[in-house]
């Protein structure tokens, strides 16, 4: 088992445990007298490991609540519902709220715990690859508001994040790929060696998956994740180490932490447009049904094109870096092509919460493992990408 710490001013502020079975979770909960568990209802139904967690909670007499963890439900109403449940169950300032689920669950439960009684402690058992390598690390919590993603929230660290790779065996292939996008993003930022290793492993898993007949795919995928767990676990730990290092140096995103937003200004625009299209458009799935990780993959390909235009004055379409990253993403089962053009994305990018004084902090890729930040206006970016 790996233990990775997030520190601030030389003090450990959050711990991440990677690689143990779920039974050992109980020991990590022992120091806390009043634990309250909130679980994604879908995870409770689909994930055998979550059922083991429920048994641990029953054994410890921990009150439990199920939530509908969908992007539409990632709202203040759900946060208030969690707070009301804590209140009804007598949670005091000594409480620890445990979130079991993917990034939507951890973002909402972390936020609810951060505002309940001016802040109680919380911990995560992330059940998606995306939340294991990203959402459950670093303390960003929050909800969507008025068609803006994660626009309300706080940065506050969980006591611990307990990563059990076995939970991924029930995660659908598509959600696994979404997490793969965030993992590759992390390695593009800071770890060229593990980028290569991750592309190799994810490509092997993708190739094994796509040849299986559709009716057997879910069961086969579960076996595939189980068979590759010993290669996947060190990559999860490596991605956590990169993020924990960056967060330790810049917890509140004043500088270096912005690197982790690689591809995200584009991704948020794509997600906003997809939601708008779902409400008003013709319903074509490639324009309405895009997960966060899928949008990040598309955003990284655009960031690569922008980087080539800026660093290498390469005005070809697509650029060499974009071609390389797009090819790697495709090899890993991800689509790098945004269904929206740059013009369409421009308006949504103007309204991104990360835009400050008309400029956006764009993260550019010098080479795999080496990124740089540059403030650019959305109009400059659109001109360069056109
Ligand atoms: N706080 C952060 O730093 C941060 C970083 C990245 C993303 N996010 C947020 O995370 C969210 C996306 O997270 P996500 O991809 O984990 O989504 P998610 O929580 O919606 O999970 C994806 C789907 O998988 C299901 N699921 C989860 N675990 C499962 C399991 N083990 N077995 C079977 N099904 C399972 C869920 O019910 C859901 O349908 C977005 O809202 C995004 O904004 C936050």
CATH assignment at residue 349: 1.20.1090.10
Ligand 1 within 6 A of CB of 178: yes
- pLDDT the model gives residue 357: 65
- pLDDT the model gives residue 164: 97
Average pLDDT per 10 consecutive residues for the chain, totaling 386 residues: 96 96 94 97 97 94 97 96 98 98 98 98 98 98 89 97 97 97 98 98 96 89 97 98 98 97 95 88 81 97 95 80 96 97 88 69 96 94 91
The last residue of a domain, from among 170, 197, 230: 170
- pLDDT the model gives residue 287: 86
- Ligand 1 site-directed mutation target among 70, 130, 164, 185, most atoms within 8 Å of CB: 130
Q: Which listed residue (74, 156, 259, 268) is catalytic?
A: 268
Q: Which listed residue (257, 259, 287, 305) is catalytic?
A: 257
Cα(42) to ligand 1 centroid in Å equals: 11
Pick from 245, 261, 13: nearest CA to 139: 13
Please indicate, yes or no, whether residues 51 and 123 belong to a single structural domain of this protein: yes
The last residue of a domain, from among 118, 142, 170: 170
**Nearest residue CA, atom 5 of ligand 1?**
135
- pLDDT the model gives residue 9: 95
**Nearest residue CA, atom 18 of ligand 1?**
102
Ligand 1 within 6 A of CB of 175: yes
As beta bridge partners, residue 336 has none
Which atom in ligand 1 lies closest to the alpha carbon of residue 47? 32
The CATH number assigned to the domain holding 43 equals 3.40.50.1970
Please indicate, yes or no, whether residues 21 and 107 belong to a single structural domain of this protein: yes
Pick from 273, 384, 256: nearest CA to 322: 384
**Nearest residue CA, atom 11 of ligand 1?**
103
Q: Which listed residue (156, 264, 305, 309) is catalytic?
A: 264
Ligand 1 within 6 A of CB of 171: yes
- How many domains would you assign to the chain? 2
- pLDDT the model gives residue 214: 86
Ligand 1 within 6 A of CB of 150: yes
Cα(168) to ligand 1 centroid in Å equals: 12
Q: What is the largest CA-CA distance in the chain?
A: 62
The last residue of a domain, from among 119, 144, 170: 170
| DSSP 8-state symbol, 155 | B
- pLDDT the model gives residue 18: 98
Cα(296) to ligand 1 centroid in Å equals: 14
Ligand 1 within 6 A of CB of 164: no
Cα(308) to ligand 1 centroid in Å equals: 31
pTM listed for this prediction: 0.96
Q: Which position has the token pair 């992007």? A: 71
Please indicate, yes or no, whether residues 206 and 224 belong to a single structural domain of this protein: yes
Please indicate, yes or no, whether residues 264 and 276 belong to a single structural domain of this protein: yes
Please indicate, yes or no, whether residues 197 and 154 belong to a single structural domain of this protein: no
As beta bridge partners, residue 6 has 14
* Distance set, CA 77 to CA 95, 150, 207 (Å): 21, 14, 42
Confirm whether 322 is a catalytic residue: no
Q: Which listed residue (156, 243, 258, 305) is catalytic?
A: 243
- pLDDT the model gives residue 386: 84
By the 8 A CB rule, do 320 and 314 touch? yes
Please indicate, yes or no, whether residues 231 and 356 belong to a single structural domain of this protein: yes
Please indicate, yes or no, whether residues 261 and 337 belong to a single structural domain of this protein: yes
Please indicate, yes or no, whether residues 240 and 384 belong to a single structural domain of this protein: yes
Sign of CA dihedral 55, 57, 62, 63: negative
Please indicate, yes or no, whether residues 226 and 335 belong to a single structural domain of this protein: yes
Which atom in ligand 1 lies closest to the alpha carbon of residue 46? 33
Q: Which listed residue (140, 149, 259, 309) is catalytic?
A: 140
- Cβ atoms within 10 Å, residue 191: 19
Count, residues in the chain: 386
Ligand 1 within 6 A of CB of 253: no
Residue 17 to residue 212: CA distance in whole angstroms = 34
Please indicate, yes or no, whether residues 65 and 193 belong to a single structural domain of this protein: no
Cα(333) to ligand 1 centroid in Å equals: 18
Confirm whether 268 is a catalytic residue: yes
Range of the domain at 270: 172-386
By the 8 A CB rule, do 147 and 125 touch? no
Q: Which two tokens stand for residue 27?
A: 């020991």
Q: Which residues contact 100 (CB under 8 A, 6 or more apart)?
A: 37, 38, 39, 40, 43, 50, 53, 124, 125, 127
Confirm whether 58 is a catalytic residue: no
Please indicate, yes or no, whether residues 157 and 213 belong to a single structural domain of this protein: no
Residue 119 to residue 154: CA distance in whole angstroms = 11
Q: Which two tokens stand for residue 233?
A: 């676990």
Please indicate, yes or no, whether residues 323 and 176 belong to a single structural domain of this protein: yes
Q: Which residues contact 384 (CB under 8 A, 6 or more apart)?
A: 306, 309, 310
By the 8 A CB rule, do 198 and 184 touch? yes
**Nearest residue CA, atom 21 of ligand 1?**
102
């Amino acid at each position: 088992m790996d233990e990775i710490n997030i520190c601030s001013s030389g003090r450990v502020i959050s711990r991440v445990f990677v690689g143990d079975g779920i039974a050992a979770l109980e020991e990590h909960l022992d120091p806390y007298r009043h634990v309250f568990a909130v679980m994604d209802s879908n995870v409770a139904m689909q994930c055998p490991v979550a059922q083991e967690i429920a048994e641990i909670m029953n054994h410890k007499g921990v009150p439990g609540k199920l939530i509908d963890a969908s992007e539409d439900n990632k709202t203040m109403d759900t946060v208030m519902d969690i707070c009301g449940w804590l209140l009804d169950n007598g949670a005091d300032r000594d409480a620890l709220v445990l979130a079991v689920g993917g990034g939507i669950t951890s973002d909402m439960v972390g936020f609810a715990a951060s505002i309940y009684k001016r802040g109680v402690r919380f911990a995560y058992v992330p059940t998606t690859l995306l939340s294991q390598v990203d959402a459950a690390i670093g303390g960003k919590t929050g909800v969507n508001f008025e068609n803006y993603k994660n626009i309300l929230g706080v940065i506050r660290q969980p006591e611990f994040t307990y990563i059990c790779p076995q939970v991924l065996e029930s995660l659908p292939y598509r959600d696994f790929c979404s997490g793969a996008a965030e993992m590759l993003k992390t390695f593009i930022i800071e770890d060229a060696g593990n980028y290569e290793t991750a592309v190799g492993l994810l490509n092997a898993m993708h190739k094994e998956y796509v040849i299986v007949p559709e009716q057997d795919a879910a069961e086969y995928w579960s076996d595939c994740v189980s068979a590759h767990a010993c290669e996947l676990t060190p990559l999860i730990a490596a991605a956590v180490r990169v993020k924990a290092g960056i967060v330790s140096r810049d917890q509140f995103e004043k500088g270096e932490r912005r690197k982790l937003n690689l591809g995200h200004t584009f991704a948020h625009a794509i997600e906003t447009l997809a939601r708008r299209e779902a409400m008003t458009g013709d319903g074509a799935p490639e324009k309405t049904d895009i997960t966060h990780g899928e949008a990040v993959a598309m955003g990284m390909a655009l960031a690569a094109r922008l980087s080539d235009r800026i660093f290498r004055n390469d005005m070809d379409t697509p650029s060499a870096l974009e071609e390389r990253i797009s090819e790697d993403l495709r090899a890993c089962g991800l689509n790098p092509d945004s269904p929206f053009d740059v013009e369409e994305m421009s308006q949504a990018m103007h309204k991104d919460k990360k835009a400050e004084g008309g400029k956006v902090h764009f993260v550019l890729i010098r080479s795999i493992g080496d990124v740089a930040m540059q403030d650019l206006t959305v109009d400059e970016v659109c001109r360069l990408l056109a």
